[in-house]
Amino acid sequence: MSSSTLRTDSRRPVPTRLACITAALLAGTVLLSPAHADTGKLLLTGGVSTIDGAAGGGLSPWAVIGSQATEGQTGFTTHLSRAETRDYGLTAAGASIGIHDRIELSVGRQDFDTGVTGTALGLPGLNLRQTIVGAKLRVAGDAIVDSDRLMPQIAIGVQHKRLDASGLDPTLAALGAKRSGTDLYVSATKLFLAQGLLVNGTLRATRANQGGLLGHGARLGGADNGYEVVPEISVAYLLARNLAVGFEVRGMPDKLRRAGAAAGLGDGLRSDNWKDIFIAWAPGKNVSLTAAYVDLGRVVPATTAGRRQTGFYLSAQFAF
């Protein structure tokens, strides 16, 4: 895989452009909807926006339906997030609509600065841009109503992800990875309201490499190109009615590892689980701010000397 065959995408992340896209999406959903939420849920019980656009933690979707809308209402969220690790940067923005606290439709946009990896490929300044369209359906339970029982809230969801064309396309093609793919997941969220504790478990069927930022699947060297079911766990504890702390672990398939070995890179394309420790604060019912320490493990370790990608994550969400 010669880097001389690749073309450089020298554009940099533009958070303001992502914010404008998000605002436009939100405005469109508001104009198309007949009812708006004016009372809403208990603070932070609707989760925050994930980097993929769905409601949940920062990394993993929960069974909750985003926005402040309760049954019989339509609500909206928009968010802007930024993560910085030792070698990479990610800007994420998105919007979602929650209908009758049962259906959630979301769209997310990610802009990933490849940093030293792009430079090693002869593509300094390469950014990978991904669009994620999602839908979620609550199929059983109610996190608030059932908070004094063992019954969790359960939802099923789908996320379709597509990478924009970039200078990385020839490399992905050589590895047998596709630029688009679809994840399916089921989430169960249990809120222990009296104890101020929320626990979520998600099982995701996916072929996405590094969340889809490095394409989907791999075929080089006979790599397994089928779906894998990976677990995701979130725990949050309410320190106060508007302040929560917690952690998340999101499983990652390792489909590029064998393809990387076949390309002569050894373990240079291995992936690790993503993790974070977060604190979320809601200064009002329509605004929440999240800060986190993130550990994305090794991301293309062939170009980063095997360094773990640790750093910070900041996110602002507006929900109505």
Residue 211 and residue 108: Cα distance in Å, rounded?
A: 13
**3-319 belongs to CATH 2.40.160.40:** yes
pLDDT of residue 316: 98
What are the residues whose beta carbons fall under 8 Å from the beta carbon of 35, sequence distance 6 or more?
72, 73, 74
* Position 69 confidence tier, pLDDT thresholds 50, 70, 90: confident
Q: What's the pTM?
A: 0.87
Question: Which tokens is 11 given?
Answer: 């554009």
Higher pLDDT, 16 or 56: 56
What are the residues whose beta carbons fall under 8 Å from the beta carbon of 306, sequence distance 6 or more?
298
Residue 104 and residue 153: Cα distance in Å, rounded?
A: 14
User: To the nearest whole percent, how much of the chain has pLDDT over 70?
Assistant: 88
Per-residue pLDDT tens for 145-176? Answer: 999 999 999 999 999 999 999 999 999 999 99
